[in-house]
A and B are shown apart, each in its own frame.
Chain A
Amino acid sequence: MSKPRACLECLHRAWLLARLAPYIEKIATGAPGSRSPELLRLSNEDLAAVSAPSVATQLLAGVLEIEEGRLREELRAARCWACCRHDALYPEGLRDAADAPWALIGRGDAALLAGLEPEGAVTVVGSRRATSYGREVARELGRELAAAGMVVVSGLAFGIDGCAHRGAIEVGRTVAVLGCGADVSYPQAHRSLWRRICAEGLVLSELPPGTGAWRWTFPARNRIMAALAGMTVIVEGAKRSGSLITADLAADLGRDLGAVPGPVTARTSAGPNDLLAGGACLVRDAQDVLDAMLGPGARRIDRSGPDLDLRLRAALEVVEGGVDTPDALAAALDLSGAEAAAALASLEALGYVSCSLVGAYTRTMLRPPPAGI
């Protein structure tokens, strides 16, 4: 298989973006939620003139002067490679977008890039400020979609993004699209996850190695995520969440849009609930995503868990009812503290519930087999 390649012109574009980043920051984030990607449709000359009028010519000349050897050396030093829109490996999905990046800088598995088609990729995004429900759903979506052979695309951010990656990387393929250089782990706290995706998945960015994150680069990378996948699923997000920008962009490109419903009283689910009201595809689990993308029943996910005895079945029902501590479980079923502990541990070992850092239990998407009579 051929290696990804990038021409000098497209590489120069990436480096120009990095040089212009502080200038674009000034004009692109004047209003919250502004669509910085629109700027990225402009040609090199126009972009420089619009964003940095006083130094446009010098900047542009400075970038175009950089020799090809130096660019490639920088890529090599950061253990990255590049692929441009003139290369056959350039993802098909991005060609649909008028403001698509000229070059993609990647780190990790280049073969994954070659196989990246909208029909085989799902973008799972959501709020950084996620609830344990959202995290659980994101992780399960990531895991099951990856297990079903889909590539899970997300943004490596805190909350939903991180969970989707974590779920996917355990069983399959995932792509992280960053708003900074592909060799930079942003956020810092996701270093270990970033390292794992670099090793087992793929990290993409339109910015050259070493570029830091700017506010405008996040909506900009959202347009890449939206274009890469055939369907974008919003798991959680408030009304003005950045993930809704991704949803907008996906809709503009004519991609499928999915949303995970949440309580109508929860601020964190206001975004996806609004999308659902506006006609987005209802996503309860990975099966809903597969049905929407490939047609109903085209690919089936088997999600039945191991058999449960009566005691555990009763405990599971109580947890499904919203009980999240052993104390409350004990009160609901009139168990001793020890019995409640044992029941929750058994359910956790079987994969029916999961437990957070502070000890709150959440139901997973695993379904118990029908009760025997």
Chain B
Amino acid sequence: MLATARTFTLDGIAARPVRVEIDVRRGLPAFSVVGLPDTAVREARERVRAALANCGFEFPLRRIVANLAPASLRKAGPGLDLAIAVALLTASEQLEWEALPRVAMVGELALDGSTRPVPGALAIAEAARELGAEILVVPVENGAEAALAPGIEVISLESLAQLPELAAGRWSPVPPQSLPFVLDGDGGGGDLADLRGQPHLRYAMEVAAAGGHSLLMVGPPGAGKSLAASRLPSIMPPLARGEALEVARIASACGKLAGGPVGQRPFRAPHHTISPAGLVGGGSPPGPGEITLAHRGVLFLDELCEFRRDALEALRAPLEAGSVAIVRASSALRLPCRFMLVAASNPCPCGRGEVDAECSCAPQAVRSYQSKLSGALADRLDILTTVRQPSAEAMGGEAGEPSASVRERVCEARERQASRLGAGRCNAEMTPAEARESALAEGAAALLAESYSRRRLSGRAHDRVLRLARTVADLAGAEAIGRDEMAQALQLRRRDA
């Protein structure tokens, strides 16, 4: 007899529909799985066999063929176990489920028949709804995540043994509570009030958050660079609901949602030994990298100069495009990656910097170390701020301004940008033409022209300063960029070698 069940496999961060077709007929006992399964899917045979037996079902001693359609799509991961088991039970007439054509399901099986969580439940729930399914069966741990998707009934299943009850309508499970939306949290990084003293660093962070500008902090170890970076999500504008779902979908596909609230801006700080594939995505099968995990949030590269050059080079194109295309022989993926780049670096290999008499770094070593501060990636960094150890008074002094009030100013500045540039766009994304259209007060134009003519600015830096100045003016609520705002932007800009 033939039976089918609907399930999904994950391709990058998107869910692709898969139909499990099972044919059970007389013949030598065998169980084969066809249709481009990977190792984990092929091993489903053993898991399903044990799970059925341990839940009081009978594993049919017949010739069983499982076909995973479409046969051309590569299926990965153990998430197909549940659908195979259900189709097998139906095909062997041990389960009669009237609603099965309207049901989609996903889940890994343990040998005792209980379900195990799978990545990407949110994307799968959305894809199931698109496909017209009315019910989605997921492992109990994925229930809250899948329930984020509106318009589909989610059933969290604990064990295969619950299936007969469910199918017969004798058990109506409580719909799982969806994960909470917290749109104005601090991203788990803490409050900016923890940053004491260092007014210029705070100011640079505020401008960066307000205009979406990338930020480079240079200073000795322990001066507060990492602390400052981790506080950035707390002063960035809250995510819109659609953006929050987008972020949650990515985290879910990477198995990183972990029951936490949804709607926080992500903060990713990969270690500097990361490979290019780990940073931008890749591997086999291709999956998202850190830049996609940082989508709509902050990607923090601590010790920028220690990163592999090829990894930093790989960042350039995605940074400009806001998305990354990962093309391999067998597949092509396009993943979103609109993140804010924040980098930190020591001034020299020993970290003290030449102002410190103790610094004993050879000039050649300092030069090669700093070469990454003026390379092609550094060209994409807008703001430079020098961080020094805060003074004892500042450390013992009162707490700084809390994130909430800084965020208020940032949001106002973002609104001004949106009304000028269109919804969702910020000053950092202005084209050179748009940047040059910015209204300049007389003093500002003179100051910029003077800096430019003294060869202190390159053409590219000229446009960068204009973008920064526009953000500074937006923060100040000014229509035209004034002289002071231009001066501040000139000071904030990253220096060329």
Interface centre among B200, B353, B450, B451, by most chain A C-beta atoms within 10 angstroms, is B200
For residue B198, CB closer than 8 A to chain A, the reply is: yes
A358 CB contact (under 8 Å) in B199, B353, B447, B496: B353
B204 CB contact (under 8 Å) in A129, A328, A337, A351: A337
B373 CB contact (under 8 Å) in A129, A329, A342, A357: A357
Interface centre among A129, A338, A346, A357, by most chain B C-beta atoms within 10 angstroms, is A338
> Which residues of chain A come closer than 8 Å to B345, judged between CB atoms?
358
Q: Are B370 and A357 in contact (CB under 8 A)?
A: yes
Report the minimum CB–CB distance from B144 to chain A (whole Å).
42
> Which residues of chain B come closer than 8 Å to A20, judged between CB atoms?
none
Q: Are A338 and B203 in contact (CB under 8 A)?
A: yes
Q: Per-residue 0/1 for B379-397: is the Cβ within 8 Å of any A Cβ (1 yes, 0 no)?
A: 0000011111011001000
Q: Per-residue 0/1 for A143-172: is the Cβ within 8 Å of any B Cβ (1 yes, 0 no)?
A: 000000000000000110000000000000
Q: Are A328 and B388 in contact (CB under 8 A)?
A: yes
For residue A128, CB closer than 8 A to chain B, the reply is: yes
For residue A331, CB closer than 8 A to chain B, the reply is: yes
Q: Are A335 and B199 in contact (CB under 8 A)?
A: yes
Q: Are B487 and A349 in contact (CB under 8 A)?
A: yes
> Which residues of chain A come closer than 8 Å to B203, judged between CB atoms?
336-338, 341
Q: Select the stretch in B183-191, B234-242, B294-302, B354-362 that faces chain A.
A: B354-362
Interface residues of B in 27-57 (CB under 8 A from A): none
> Which residues of chain B come closer than 8 Å to A330, judged between CB atoms?
199-200
Q: Are A357 and B495 in contact (CB under 8 A)?
A: yes
Report the minimum CB–CB distance from A132 to chain B (whole Å).
6
Q: Select the stretch in A250-258, A293-301, A319-327, A364-372 that faces chain B.
A: A319-327
Known: A132-B354, A341-B488. A349 touches B451 (CB 8 A): yes
Q: Are B384 and A359 in contact (CB under 8 A)?
A: yes
Q: Are B354 and A131 in contact (CB under 8 A)?
A: yes
Query: Once the chains are docked, how many angstroms separate the CA of A349 from the CA of B487?
Result: 9
Q: Per-residue 0/1 for B470-497: is the Cβ within 8 Å of any A Cβ (1 yes, 0 no)?
A: 0010000000000010011111100111
Which chain A residue shows the least CB distance to B374? A357
Total contacting residues, chain B, CB less than 8 A: 46
Q: Are B495 and A355 in contact (CB under 8 A)?
A: yes
For residue B197, CB closer than 8 A to chain A, the reply is: yes
B495 CB contact (under 8 Å) in A325, A351, A359: A359
> Which residues of chain A come closer than 8 Å to B490, judged between CB atoms?
345, 348-349
For residue A356, CB closer than 8 A to chain B, the reply is: yes
Query: Once the chains are docked, how many angstroms separate the CA of A345 from the CA of B493?
Result: 10
For residue A265, CB closer than 8 A to chain B, the reply is: yes
For residue B309, CB closer than 8 A to chain A, the reply is: no
B355 CB contact (under 8 Å) in A158, A343, A346, A360: A360
Q: Are B447 and A349 in contact (CB under 8 A)?
A: yes
Which chain A residue shows the least CB distance to B362? A129
Query: Once the chains are docked, how many angstroms separate the CA of A325 from the CA of B203?
Result: 13
For residue A266, CB closer than 8 A to chain B, the reply is: yes
Interface residues of A in 166-191 (CB under 8 A from B): 189
> Which residues of chain A come closer than 8 Å to B200, judged between CB atoms?
325-327, 329-330, 337, 340-341
Which chain B residue shows the least CB distance to A159? B363
> Which residues of chain A come closer than 8 Å to B492, judged between CB atoms?
341
> Which residues of chain B come closer than 8 Å to A325, judged between CB atoms?
200, 386-388
> Which residues of chain B come closer than 8 Å to A132, judged between CB atoms?
354-355
For residue B367, CB closer than 8 A to chain A, the reply is: yes
Known: A331-B391, A349-B447, A359-B384. A158 touches B367 (CB 8 A): yes
Q: Are B201 and A358 in contact (CB under 8 A)?
A: no
Query: Once the chains are docked, how many angstroms separate the CA of A346 from the CA of B198?
Result: 21
Q: Are A338 and B370 in contact (CB under 8 A)?
A: no
For residue B347, CB closer than 8 A to chain A, the reply is: yes
Report the minimum CB–CB distance from B310 to chain A (whole Å).
21
Q: Are A359 and B354 in contact (CB under 8 A)?
A: no
Q: Are B199 and A265 in contact (CB under 8 A)?
A: no
Interface centre among B355, B391, B489, by most chain A C-beta atoms within 10 angstroms, is B355
Q: Are B201 and A337 in contact (CB under 8 A)?
A: yes
For residue B202, CB closer than 8 A to chain A, the reply is: yes
Which chain A residue shows the least CB distance to B354? A131
> Which residues of chain A come closer than 8 Å to B63, judged between CB atoms?
none
Q: Are A327 and B198 in contact (CB under 8 A)?
A: yes
Query: Once the chains are docked, how many angstroms separate the CA of A141 from the CA of B355?
Result: 21
Report the minimum CB–CB distance from B130 to chain A (whole Å).
48
> Which residues of chain B come closer than 8 Å to A326, judged between CB atoms?
200, 385-386, 491
Report the minimum CB–CB distance from A179 to chain B (whole Å).
17
Report the minimum CB–CB distance from A314 to chain B (whole Å).
16
Query: Once the chains are docked, how many angstroms separate the CA of A349 from the CA of B455?
Result: 11
Known: A331-B197, A358-B386. A342 touches B495 (CB 8 A): no
Which chain A residue shows the least CB distance to B203? A337
For residue B160, CB closer than 8 A to chain A, the reply is: no
A356 CB contact (under 8 Å) in B199, B450, B495: B495
Interface centre among A266, A335, A349, A360, by most chain B C-beta atoms within 10 angstroms, is A349
For residue B218, CB closer than 8 A to chain A, the reply is: yes
> Which residues of chain B come closer than 8 Å to A275, judged between CB atoms?
none
Query: Once the chains are docked, how many angstroms separate the CA of A9 from the CA of B345?
Result: 56
- Residue pairs across A and B with Cβ atoms less than 8 A apart, 24 shown, are A131-B354, A265-B357, A267-B357, A326-B386, A329-B200, A331-B199, A331-B391, A331-B394, A336-B199, A337-B199, A338-B203, A340-B200, A341-B488, A341-B491, A342-B488, A344-B491, A345-B488, A349-B454, A349-B487, A357-B495, A358-B345, A358-B384, A360-B347, A360-B353
Closest CB pairs A-B (n = 6): A337-B203, A359-B386, A345-B491, A326-B200, A337-B199, A341-B491
17 new A-B contacts at CB < 8 Å, known A132-B354, A357-B497: A129-B362, A265-B357, A324-B386, A327-B198, A327-B386, A327-B388, A331-B197, A331-B394, A336-B199, A342-B487, A345-B487, A345-B490, A349-B447, A349-B451, A349-B487, A359-B218, A359-B385
